[in-house]
Amino acid sequence: MTRATVTKGSGNVFRDLGFSEEKSAELILKSSLLQALQETIKGQGWKQVEAAAQLGIDQAKVSKLLAGQMAGFSIERLVHFLSLLGQDVEVTVRKAPRGRRHGIVRARVSKPDKIPA
């Protein structure tokens, strides 16, 4: 039996997959926004057609979002979708600590609130 080699990740899955620092930062933010959007839609118990009506898009696009497909959806568009669903989106910018050349991108997703009927 051969032993599998395990490599410790950096904490940034997109960087570990070979994306540039800039692209991985974008993908972290997009994936967090997408996760919040998915949780909001699922939390409402909506069918894809109902979510599409709320977002002003067709059901096929909602299907892609719920399947985790980020291509074709900008950060701005995902933020807009979340705002249409009654979610606040906050971005905080602050100086990186001394000794670190570049800042890092992190996203924290709170549990979305249920939208009143």
CATH of domain 20-84: 1.10.260.40
pTM: 0.78
Give long-range contacts, CB 8 A cutoff, 24+ apart: 88-94: 89/33, 89/36
Supply 57's token pair: 């898009």
Cα separation, 102 vs 41, in Å, equals: 35
Query: What is d(CA 30, CA 36) in angstroms, rounded to the nearest whole number?
Result: 10
pLDDT digits (tens, 9 = 90+) for 69-102: 999 999 999 999 999 999 998 888 888 888 877 7
- Report helix, strand or coil for 60: helix
Domain ranges in the chain? 20-84
Residue 114 — pLDDT band, cuts 50, 70, 90? low
Q: What is the pLDDT of residues 22-58, one digit of tens each?
A: 888 889 899 999 999 999 999 999 999 999 999 999 9
